[in-house]
Amino acid sequence: MKRVIKQAEPASFAQWKAQANADWQPTYDDLQNPQKRDLHESLLREQGWVCCYCGRRIDLAHSHIEHFRPQEARPDLALDYGNLHASCMREMSPGLPLHCGHAKGSDFDEARAVSPLDMDCERRFLYSLGDGRIYPADRGDEATDYMLRILQLDISFLRDRRAETLRRVFDDAFVVSASDEELSQLAEGFRTPDESGRLDNFGHVVARYAEQLLRR
C-alpha cells in the first residue's frame, strides 16, 4: 500500500458541492466533467501518478476514482475528498485479474481497515525480492492481512511486476555491498517525485525493500 498525503481538494469540485440548496443536494452520480476530471487529476497528482494501493504508475485513462470507504456503507463520504483516491484499472474486463479498488468493491470492515492515509501504512507490509510476494510485517497483524486479501495485492499479476522492478535495482552485488547510507538515500530517492511530479512504477516497494535491508 502506498501512503498518500492529502492536499486541498480542487476548487471546481468544492464550488460544485457548495451549490447545494434546499432543492438540490450533490451526489457522486451527479458529478460530471469538468469537475469530475479535475477531481481525478487532483487525486493523481497528490499520489505522484501511482495507484494508492499497489503503486503502479497510472494516468487518467488507466485509473478510476476510488472510494476507500465504499459508497454503499458510507454514502455520507461519497463526496468527501479525504475518502477519495485514484486506483489502477479503468474498467473491469473479462479475463483481467481484479485487484486494488475494483477487487475491494463494497467489501469493507472498518475495524480491520488500513488506509493509505495512515502514516505507517507502508511499513506494515514486507516484500520478497525473489518472487515479489507481499505479506504483513507482523504475521499477527489481522488488519494488514485483511487488506491484502480484499485488495488482492498478492496475485501473480502484481507479484511478477514487483519482482521484476525489485531485481532491476537490487542485484546480488548491490545487496551484499550496499551501505546503510546508500540504502537510506535509495529509499528517499524512490519516494521523491521527478520534475513532472511523478513517482517511479512501484517506487514505494523499492523504498520499502531498501528499508528492509537496513534492518539486517
How far apart are the C-alpha atoms of 96 and 86, rounded to whole Å? Answer: 19
DSSP-based three-state secondary structure for 191:
coil
Question: Residue 12: which H helix or E strand, with range?
Answer: helix 11-17
The angle, 0 to 180 degrees and rounded to 10, between the axes of the packed helices 156-169 and 203-214 is 60
Domain extent listing, the chain: 11-214
Q: In Å, how far from its chain's centre is CA 195? A: 21
pTM of the model: 0.94
Q: Is 125 in contact with 147 (CB distance < 8 Å)?
A: no
How far apart are the C-alpha atoms of 91 and 61, rounded to whole Å? Answer: 10
- In tens digits, the chain (216 residues) has pLDDT values of 999 999 999 999 999 999 999 999 999 999 999 999 999 999 999 999 999 999 999 999 999 999 999 999 999 999 999 999 999 988 766 677 899 999 998 889 999 999 999 999 999 999 999 999 999 999 999 999 999 999 999 999 999 999 999 999 999 999 999 999 999 999 999 999 999 999 999 999 999 999 999 976
How far apart are the C-alpha atoms of 43 and 48, rounded to whole Å? Answer: 9
Question: How confident is the model at residue 6, as a pLDDT?
Answer: 97
Which grid coordinates are listed for 5? Answer: 498525503
Instruction: Classify the C-alpha dihedral 168-173-176-179 as positive or negative.
Output: negative
How far apart are the C-alpha atoms of 34 and 12, rounded to whole Å? Answer: 8
